[in-house]
Chains A and B, each alone.
Chain A
Amino acid sequence: SQQGEEDPQALSIQEGENATMNCSYKTSINNLQWYRQNSGRGLVHLILIRSNEREKHSGRLRVTLDTSKKSSSLLITASRAADTASYFCATDGGNTPLVFGKGTRLSVIA
């Protein structure tokens, strides 16, 4: 299975700190996507990074991809209470549908 595995499962930080979440996967991918899910809501797409890209930024979000290590990281800088959510990586192997990991639960304490 190429299922992504997020690490850590849960993360608790103070407002203003940076939060880093990691995702590891098992097989070759076309792209990797990160999604956020607020409690009781649907998933919201954050960033898509292609297999030939190494880093991507969007606002306070920075995603890196290391295909040699089959891993990706999501960094949220200067976190806010509103960033409290679960974060999922999803891998796309080309001929298979998106496979989601189990997520990292981020708590940002004001």
Chain B
Amino acid sequence: DTAVSQTPKYLVTQMGNDKSIKCEQNLGHDTMYWYKQDSKKFLKIMFSYNNKELIINETVPNRFSPKSPDKAHLNLHINSLELGDSAVYFCASSQGSYHNEQFFGPGTRLTVL
């Protein structure tokens, strides 16, 4: 009964490739997020969608493009991967805005070689 799920859990790829990470939540929440956690455990928000609309877009290279086909899904596509993109990417969701409790997925560890 996973609340927030992400696939894949691990992603190893070469520089320059394009990859996608998928996220789904079954909590009925209307807001979803993507976070990036670097090697020092620093967690930073990248994007947030509310009811399929982009509401937060932090300073992220435009190689990163989120897509929300419906309220329960928020996918992240990354073009032309770079070494610095290596990190753990977390999807999260909440009911209403980020003022409320957020539920996190298990993370996707992306390694760019």
Contacts and interface: CB of A to CB of B under 8 A. Distances in A.
A and B physically associate: yes
Interface of A: 30-31, 33, 35, 37, 40-45, 48, 86, 88, 92, 94, 97-100, 102-103
Interface stretch (B11-19, B42-50, B73-81): B42-50
Nearest to B90: A42
A42 B105 contact: yes
A45 B94 CA distance: 11
A41 B107 contact: yes
Given A41-B107, A42-B106, A100 B98 contact: no
Interface string B84-107: 000000101000001111111111
B4 A42 contact: yes
B56 interface: yes
A31 B96 CA distance: 15
Nearest to A86: B41
A100 B56 contact: no
B45 A98 contact: yes
Contacts of A45: 101-103
Interface of chain A, main secondary structure: strand
B48 to A, nearest CB: 6
Nearest to A92: B99
A44 B104 contact: yes
**Which one of A30, A97, A100, A102 has the greatest number of beta carbons of chain B within 10 Å?**
A97
A23 to B, nearest CB: 14
B23 to A, nearest CB: 11
A52 B55 CA distance: 27
B64 to A, nearest CB: 16
A45 B4 CA distance: 13
A102 B41 contact: yes
Given A42-B105, A42-B106, 11 more contacts: A40-B107, A43-B104, A44-B104, A45-B101, A45-B103, A97-B45, A97-B58, A98-B102, A99-B45, A100-B42, A102-B40
Contact of A30 (B4, B90, B92, B99): B99
Contacts of B48: 97
Contacts of B4: 42
